[in-house]
């Protein structure tokens, strides 16, 4: 094994039972030998150099191409072992300098004008839609679920998330709602069905738009409100006003240079007594660059902000922060459910997208779960208003409304609203 790689692993891996088998077939042990063994085999010398110089990128690319293979344990076991150790023993100085450079360049990497935003969205969301059926819940909720009580399955936890968000929006029948980054339409359909709101959802994904419209056409809203309208649009193009604005899992794609524009847009489109709810992944420590593997292969232009980066833009927009909730470990549990569902359906995924894609997706799901479980990633739910008196002055109304919704949305738990998430084939 190359000496630089051996030194890197020796400095980082102090706990656990990790073995690397190099290109000559020699085994090199790292850690204290405790716990289940994880054995990694490297296919070529070039990968050894890449791991030594840029481990964050090289591990993902090596696994995706089949040049880094797990002979004992799985990719989750490997990433979890590394991340637990990295919490106390970070990569050596030269890797830190590379991470610092990525942090310095993050504004350029996240420059997302409308055209680039649409291209970035298509990269991830306009893949073969059958892939999403293999790991998401039937409503295709592709964001952090809310495990309101122990033992919830994925579909119930996603329903609880929609209920939690609806309660914070304090909706009344007939109010106009804008859903920025509406995905396949599940939240918009839920809000229209359960609250009687008039919902408009916007997306940059052609595939998501098509499915959301199919579902809206099939929806019978129990409240008598019209079915949601879904539009292909960038948030910067919205000029109408709304009583409520919600955005779930979209802010991660906005890009740091555009935060001021995003919150200025919220302030512009909200009515004077309006309320907005932002649900976004965030980090609990200082700002940092995006993981390079995720930036290249999964979410180009994406970024996970620190709360301090969000709040500066909020303050300059004139919006009032009414409430902040931090969801800890909820996304780790969500990703665990997605990963298990994907692995259970892996043969179907290989038939659809090929082996390299499946290894890439496994690494993405496993690495993301570990980041929420062992590192500094959480989910922020930030409630914003234009006026300080727009909502009740205690949080009691949220819990009361959530209980009301729980009593009334039982049928939603039995089936996704509208047509099935997507026809197979």
pLDDT (0 to 100) of residue 279 = 98
Band of pLDDT at residue 74, cut at 50, 70 and 90: very high
* Mean pLDDT, rounded, for 195-222: 91
- Count of domains forming the chain: 2
As a whole number of angstroms, the distance between CA 391 and CA 275 comes to 8
The CB density around residue 94, as the number of other CB atoms within 10 Å, is 12
Is residue 127 assigned to a domain?
A: yes
Q: Is residue 421 pLDDT above 50, yes or no?
A: no
Q: What percent of the chain has pLDDT over 90?
A: 79
Q: Of 57, 79, 102, which closes a domain? A: 102
Q: What is the mean pLDDT of the chain?
A: 91
| Structural domain containing residue 145 | 114-414
The CB density around residue 424, as the number of other CB atoms within 10 Å, is 11
Q: Is residue 425 pLDDT above 60, yes or no?
A: no
Which tokens belong to 260?
A: 């001021």
Closest CA relative to residue 165, chosen from 173, 177, 174: 177
Is residue 318 assigned to a domain?
A: yes
Looking at the fold, whether 194 and 284 belong to one and the same domain comes out as yes
Q: Which one is catalytic: 144, 182, 358, 370? A: 370
pLDDT (0 to 100) of residue 272 = 96
pLDDT (0 to 100) of residue 109 = 67
Q: Of 102, 130, 148, which closes a domain? A: 102
Is residue 419 assigned to a domain?
A: no
Is residue 421 assigned to a domain?
A: no
Looking at the fold, whether 81 and 144 belong to one and the same domain comes out as no
Q: Is residue 420 pLDDT above 70, yes or no?
A: no
Band of pLDDT at residue 424, cut at 50, 70 and 90: very low
pLDDT (0 to 100) of residue 105 = 64
Looking at the fold, whether 250 and 372 belong to one and the same domain comes out as yes
229-232/198-203 β-pairing:
parallel
Cα angle 263, 280, 232 (rounded to 5 degrees) comes to 65
Which CATH number characterizes residue 239's domain?
3.40.50.150
Q: What percent of the chain has pLDDT over 70?
A: 91
Whole-structure pTM value: 0.92
Give the pLDDT confidence of 162-194 residue by residue, as tens digits: 999 999 999 999 999 999 999 999 999 999 999
* Mean pLDDT, rounded, for 386-411: 91
The CB density around residue 340, as the number of other CB atoms within 10 Å, is 14
Sheet holding 27-30, edge to edge: 27-30, 18-21, 38-42, 68-72
Looking at the fold, whether 202 and 343 belong to one and the same domain comes out as yes
Looking at the fold, whether 169 and 83 belong to one and the same domain comes out as no
- Tell me the DSSP string of 131-199: HHHTTS-TT---S-----STT--HHHHHHHHHHHHHHHHT--TT-EEEEET-TTSHHHHHHHHHH--EE
Contacts of 24 (CB under 8 A, 6+ apart): none
Looking at the fold, whether 69 and 155 belong to one and the same domain comes out as no
Q: Is residue 414 pLDDT above 80, yes or no?
A: no
Between 424 and 207, where is the model more confident? 207
Is residue 27 assigned to a domain?
A: yes
Looking at the fold, whether 341 and 203 belong to one and the same domain comes out as yes
148-187 in b/e form (b: 16+ CB < 10 A) is: beeebebbbbbbbbbbbbbbbbbbeeebbbbbbbbbbbbb
User: What's the length of the chain?
Assistant: 425
Q: Of 67, 102, 137, which closes a domain? A: 102
Q: Is residue 7 pLDDT above 60, yes or no?
A: yes
Give the pLDDT confidence of 329-349 residue by residue, as tens digits: 999 999 999 999 999 999 999
Looking at the fold, whether 166 and 66 belong to one and the same domain comes out as no
Which residues partner with 177 through β-bridges? 199, 244
Looking at the fold, whether 82 and 215 belong to one and the same domain comes out as no
Q: Is residue 112 pLDDT above 80, yes or no?
A: no
Is residue 424 assigned to a domain?
A: no
pLDDT (0 to 100) of residue 423 = 41
Looking at the fold, whether 55 and 162 belong to one and the same domain comes out as no
Looking at the fold, whether 68 and 164 belong to one and the same domain comes out as no
* Mean pLDDT, rounded, for 97-117: 70
Between 295 and 162, where is the model more confident? 162
182 catalytic per annotation: no
Looking at the fold, whether 169 and 86 belong to one and the same domain comes out as no
Is residue 109 assigned to a domain?
A: no
* Mean pLDDT, rounded, for 311-316: 96
Q: Which of 28-37, 96-105, 250-259, 362-371 has the lowest mean pLDDT?
A: 96-105
Q: Which of 18-22, 98-102, 264-268 has the lowest mean pLDDT?
A: 98-102
């Amino acid at each position: 094994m190359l000496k630089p790689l051996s030194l890197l692993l020796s400095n980082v891996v102090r706990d656990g039972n990790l073995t690397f088998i190099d290109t000559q077939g020699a085994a090199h042990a790292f850690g204290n030998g405790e716990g289940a063994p994880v054995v990694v085999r490297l296919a070529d010398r070039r990968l050894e150099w890449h791991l030594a110089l840029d481990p964050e990128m090289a591990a993902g690319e090596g696994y995706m191409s089949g040049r880094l293979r797990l002979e004992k344990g799985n990719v989750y076991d490997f990433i979890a072992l590394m991340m637990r150790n990295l919490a106390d023993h970070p990569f050596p100085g030269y890797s830190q300098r590379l991470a610092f450079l990525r942090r310095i360049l993050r504004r350029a990497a996240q420059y997302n004008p409308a055209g680039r935003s649409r291209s970035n969205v298509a990269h991830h969301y306009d893949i073969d839609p059958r892939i999403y059926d293999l790991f998401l819940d039937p409503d295709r909720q592709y964001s952090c679920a809310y495990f309101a009580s122990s033992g919830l399955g994925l579909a119930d936890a996603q329903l609880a998330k929609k209920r939690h968000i609806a309660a914070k929006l304090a909706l009344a029948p007939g109010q106009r709602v804008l859903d920025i980054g509406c995905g396949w339409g599940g939240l918009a359909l839920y809000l229209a069905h359960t609250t009687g709101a008039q919902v408009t959802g916007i997306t940059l994904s052609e595939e998501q738009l098509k499915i959301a419209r199919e579902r809206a056409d099939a929806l019978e809203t129990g409240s008598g409100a019209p079915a949601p309208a879904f539009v292909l649009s960038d948030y910067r193009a919205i000029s109408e006003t709304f009583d409520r604005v919600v955005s779930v899992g979209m802010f991660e794609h906005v890009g740091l240079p555009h935060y001021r524009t995003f919150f200025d847009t919220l302030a512009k489109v909200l009515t004077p007594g309006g309320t907005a709810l932002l649900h976004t992944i965030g980090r609990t420590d200082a700002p940092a660059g995006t993981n390079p593997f995720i930036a290249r292969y999964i979410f180009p232009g994406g970024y996970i902000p620190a709360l301090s980066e969000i709040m500066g833009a909020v303050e300059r927009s004139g919006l009032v922060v009414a409430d902040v909730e931090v969801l800890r470990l909820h996304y780790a549990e969500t990703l665990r459910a997605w990963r298990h569902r994907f692995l259970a359906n892996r043969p179907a995924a290989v038939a659809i997208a090929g082996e390299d894609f499946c290894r890439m997706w496994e690494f993405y799901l496993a690495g993301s779960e570990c980041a929420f479980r062992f590192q500094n990633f959480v989910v922020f739910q930030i409630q914003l208003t234009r006026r300080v008196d727009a909502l009740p002055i205690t949080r009691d109304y949220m819990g009361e409304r959530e209980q009301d919704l729980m009593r009334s949305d039982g049928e939603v738990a039995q089936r996704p609203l509208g047509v099935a998430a997507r026809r197979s084939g």
